[in-house]
Structure 1
Amino acid sequence: MYVAVAALSVPEANKDKYIEAAEFMANWSMDHGALEVMEAWEFEVPDGKTTDFRKAVAAPEGEKIVTGWVIWPDKETFDKANEAMMKGEGFEDYSMGNPPFDGSRLIYGGFEPLLTKGRNERGNG
């Protein structure tokens, strides 16, 4: 199992546009082999003394924190999907224009699970 994780901030006024873009990307990811996609909109994100989500993505006033992940069966599947994305495959009919957030402040990375419990326990081992 391989998990692609992201954190970003979105202007609160762009929530509906973000949901549309997230839905497109979730469908695209599933079509390219993803097992699960999760997007989560800020509900309670406290300010920290040293660091926090808001500081991590340099979120200005009026933006909400969004975090999410895509679970892939393995890194090879992710790499193939990422290559297809870089080539623009499947984006021919994508008409969202500019993204509803500042992509320069997006944080992302790939992770190998150390432990899972609950519905994704199949990834242990």
Structure 2
Amino acid sequence: MGYVTGCVMAVPTARKDEFLEHCAACADVLKENGALEIFECWGDEVPDGEVTSFPMAVKCETDETVVFSWILWPSKQACETGMQVMMEHPSLKPEVLPMPFDGQRMIYGGFEVISEIR
């Protein structure tokens, strides 16, 4: 069924275009190295919670937007290989392509697909 990596982050709203350019550069490398599909989702209706919420989890500030992203891979092994290539790719190094958000507040994880309903 595949494997999914996902993340939630707070991106400065004014840097949306820069974020999309960053994502496009990463997507090219990921697709060349096994990623099947890549989704970048800009928060539209992401309410604050009282106990927990996406905004709370990433410490979203008033001038930021919550972004939910995920990548579909054919397998965990393909994911590990593709992500390793991305992390080492010279064109994606932080000094060449700085992240347009605070990576320390990003939540990231890998998930085995256990059900797929279309």
Q: Same fold (TM over 0.5)?
A: yes
Counterpart of 2:108 in structure 1 is 108
Q: Are residues 108 and 93 of structure 1, via their aligned partners in 2, closer, same or farther at CA, if it must alter by over 3 Å?
A: closer
Kindly report which structure 2 residues correspond to 1:13-28, keeping only aligned pairs within 5 A, or say none: 13-28=14-29
Instruction: Please tell me whether the aligned partners of residues 28 and 90 of structure 1 are also in contact (alpha carbons under 8 angstroms).
Output: no
Instruction: Please tell me whether the aligned partners of residues 21 and 96 of structure 1 are also in contact (alpha carbons under 8 angstroms).
Output: no
Unaligned runs of 5+ in 2: none
RMSD: 1.9
Kindly report which structure 2 residues correspond to 1:55-66, keeping only aligned pairs within 5 A, or say none: 55-66=56-67
Provide the aligned length of Structure 1 versus Structure 2. Answer: 117
**2:34 is equivalent to residue 33 of structure 1:** yes
Q: Are residues 94 and 57 of structure 1, via their aligned partners in 2, closer, same or farther at CA, if it must alter by over 3 Å?
A: closer
SS at match of 2:41: strand
**2:15 is equivalent to residue 9 of structure 1:** no
SS at match of 1:25: helix
Q: Are residues 81 and 54 of structure 1, via their aligned partners in 2, closer, same or farther at CA, if it must alter by over 3 Å?
A: same
